[in-house]
Chains A and B, each alone.
Chain A
Amino acid sequence: MKLIFEKGAAGRGCSILPECDVPAVDAGSFARKTPARLPQVSETEISRHYTALAKQTHGVNDGFYPLGSCTMKYNPKINEAMAALPGFTGVHPLQEPETVQGSMEVLGKAEQYLCEITGMDRMTFQPAAGAHGEFTGLLLIKGYHTARGDQARTKILVPDSAHGTNPASAAMAGFEVVNIPSGADGCVDLDALRAAAGPDTAGLMLTNPNTVGLFDKNILEITRIVHEAGGLCYYDGANLNAVMGVVRPGDMGFDVVHLNLHKTFSTPHGGGGPGSGPVGCKSLLAPFLPGKMPVQGPDGWQWETPAQSVGDVKAFYGNFLVVVKAFTYILSLGRMGIPAAAKNAVLNANYLMYRLKDHYTMAYNHRCMHEFVMSLEDVKHETGVSALDVAKALLDHGIHPPTMYFPLIVHEALMVEPTETETKETLDEAADVLIEILEEARRAPQSMHQLPLTTPVGRLDEVTAARKPVVRYDFSAGQAG
């Protein structure tokens, strides 16, 4: 499809602004000498351009999206409507508190509800995404140890099944990463954990349910080992959807958590953001929270800066409108609806696993939580068809593939997370398609490497893209080159 720079013509454009009604000012030596080459297109062209791009984009609204670890649940439209209210979109972040009591109350109440769900005491909404939350949570741990004069705690323990953001966040926070191997059951190897935990342990980062979709039943022992070594326990909330309202990270022994409001709390992903990665903590870490916290007093909501704050991790108060969406979702579901969503997420995953388990090899033969991992290793050995091939085959059926090649501890992995918002027939259809693909792999393996056939483009050459990067349109060539 043509780029927007290849459309339009000199002299075209939209009429947006009025003439300025005060005298012009000369910017003198600061004045720009060369114009930016922005598109010269009519509104008709813009509208059609983006409509065409939308048609080449698969969202949750277009079809099943069982992308493991990403919780691609349906995004309720009321959330969008509430976030678009002018009372929220029209206020400046630096208005006096008495003029933004509504926004502060949203933050305050969302904090209260999410603390209840996670078993934490305080929560900041400043982090803009999950990884940003991880970084923030680790800074709280760093602030805590630093304030105690405990400078020797330089290491963060991370299971080898963890999301890549965990070790990357630990490194950004200045910690050394110690990888903890998983046991044969996909859970934390307790002996390895005991061996690694010690006076240099700042903390442990863990997802529970973990990335293979299992609830680590040794969780109390795990957090106890870390605490006894003097470390703190960090909960990566990526997989909270399996357990929200059923069991709380705070009760598992965690000291600090981050949530992904764009996953668990139904705010959309926007093609890669904006998300929201609030960080909750037990009271021992609350003095180190970043930014300003809303506090309700006799004269309404006021801002309070935590006493030993690590500083700001973002300007202002985070992705506020995303918080409005999650807040709307919590009000909708309430006390009973939150656990009901979790339970149905687990049920849907188990049902889909049940439909597939006689055909595909499950990485772990165990009842799963909200997601499960299949290994295509045997299929690849037998037919040459890889997890990638199966994923690409799904594209021709209008299904977004599961997460591929993750977690790293499972070879040829496909990680499937259907979420609670899908119907039984969607799961049945997806199961039928996956079984059919497997039959096709055995019947005509060679043809599988050519898929997909029905998408706007076929398989793309990623190697050349990385070796000879073309990352912007080249105007001089008259085409991207």
Chain B
Amino acid sequence: MGSYISNSPDEQQQMLSAVGATDFESLYADVPASMLLEEGALHLPDGLSEMEVSEAVKALSAKNRVFPHIFRGAGAYQHYIPAIVTNVVSKEEFVTAYTPYQAEISQGVLQSIFEYQTMICELTGMEVSNASVYDGATAAAEAVAMCREKKRNVALVSAAAQPQVISVIRTYCFGNGMEVRLIPEKDGRTDLEALAGMLGDDVACVYLQQPNFYGCLEDGQKAADLTHGGKAKLIVGCNPISLGALEPPAAYGADIAVGEGQPLGMPLSFGGPYLGFMATGKALMRKLPGRIVGQTTDTNGKVGYVLTLQAREQHIRREKAGSNICSNQALCAMTASVYLAAMGWNGLSQAAKSCMANAHYLADQLSGIGYPRKHTGPYFHEFVTICPVPASKALAALAQHGYLGGLALNDREILWCATEKNRKAEMDELVSILKEVRGE
């Protein structure tokens, strides 16, 4: 059996004697006897040595199929992760520290968060970022809650947003009592004419995803103008890699920028841990949920960093806090920082442009063999094709060749994604497999 108890049985006995306990059971004298489990009564397997554990867990991981070629996105994206990223975030000091409550011995974590906040502000064009939330979906839901006002209790959410994001917004609103109304989608984009008719005195915010779930680019400027005309706030959920090529949310007037930070150096990992980022302008700074790190000085005037604006938070305000968030995704935020430092602007913009170029190449090739694109508008690195054969058949053929194809939205439509990881030769092979499927 594995054990991480440091003291030997003899030492445990010495310590029991020292505290005046006859045995371990006497330490639990306050627990009603009827409730105590008998020794060994847990229905768990016997403990294992480290070697056995390693074999058992490896055997489980081997039951998963890791595809060498991935063309699926839909909220989780495969990008190249520089080696330095994995190396830095494996440092034990970062891995095993708690939330940096004791600033004097946590300057490393605190400064890294300050740098992360700056990078997120730069990416999104915003003025203030928090230290992270759980993922892009919870970031969206927290942003909606930030916008609530006494007489404005309705959130208008684009139907072209990622389904899980819409679901999480709905769940949070089930909790806090806000009402969610979906803005319909038209040709793969949010129907802004419909939005114009939905705005009113009770609308707190509009949530738009850019690029949206179908990969299409939204008219952010028009959405912002309409939203602000209705005195509501615009929240934009953006893909951080896309910001290496596309206008950031602040440029077209978004009030809050949020998003899923996973593309910034985090592996797919079956959905987590990922990273929710949130940034806004100074006007909403004190409504931001979660940790925020600020710069200050010590008693000798030396620059240092602390958790700040804590009067917003649960441990001070309890039930009056805007959010309950405590632990967030600090190590994932550091992952994003190291990724952005390694890539630099040139690298990020190269990644973004490669994503876009590859996706357009793939879409054109697919169209050429009878898998036309469903929507007409501009897109980034995802797009939907009409499938001339059942989608399940096409995807099964691809899987046979080691390709994880796009996500089947229904039996005749597939949502594809291409990133900088996908090279021309790989895309050409994918196209030839699908061509064969069609020809059968």
Contacts and interface: CB of A to CB of B under 8 A. Distances in A.
A318 B306 contact: no
A320 B64 CA distance: 14
A203 to B, nearest CB: 14
Contacts of A229: none
B93 A38 contact: no
Contacts of A57: 93-94, 97, 105-109
Nearest to B66: A90
Given A73-B4, A246-B36, A313-B138, 19 more contacts: A17-B420, A22-B427, A27-B245, A54-B93, A61-B93, A93-B271, A129-B326, A164-B315, A247-B37, A310-B174, A315-B162, A315-B165, A315-B271, A315-B274, A321-B273, A330-B44, A332-B48, A424-B7, A455-B105
A36 B122 contact: yes
Interface residues of B, number: 201
Nearest to A456: B107
Nearest to B415: A94
Interface in A379-393: 391-392
B1 interface: yes
B150 interface: no
A275 B327 contact: yes
A17 B60 contact: no
Interface stretch (B8-16, B181-189, B193-201, B431-439): B8-16
Contact of A117 (B39, B44, B56): B44
B410 interface: no
15 contacts: A16-B343, A38-B345, A56-B106, A56-B108, A59-B93, A59-B94, A76-B4, A91-B270, A93-B75, A102-B61, A172-B323, A271-B98, A321-B272, A334-B47, A466-B309
A371 interface: no
A311 B168 contact: yes
B271 A316 contact: yes
B400 interface: no
Nearest to A98: B65
B401 interface: no
B268 A331 contact: no
A343 B321 CA distance: 36
Contacts of A195: none
Interface residues of A, number: 196
A268 B162 CA distance: 30
Interface in B102-149: 102-109, 111-112, 114-115, 117-119, 121-123, 125, 127-129, 131-132, 134-138, 145
Contacts of A164: 313-318, 321, 326
A56 B102 CA distance: 12
Nearest to A215: B30
A136 to B, nearest CB: 9
A356 to B, nearest CB: 12
A333 to B, nearest CB: 5
Nearest to A51: B91
B324 A169 contact: yes
From B2, B3, B317, B319, residue with most partner A Cβ within 10 Å: B319
A420 B19 contact: no
Nearest to B94: A271
B88 A47 contact: yes
B260 A315 contact: yes
A20 B358 contact: yes
From A23, A33, A270, A452, residue with most partner B Cβ within 10 Å: A270
Given A14-B347, A62-B93, A3 B57 contact: no
Contact of B45 (A321, A334, A347, A404): A334
Given A4-B341, A164-B316, A246-B37, A473 B114 contact: yes
Interface stretch (B151-159, B331-339, B366-374): B331-339
Interface string A369-412: 00000000000000000000001100100001101101000000
B107 A25 contact: no
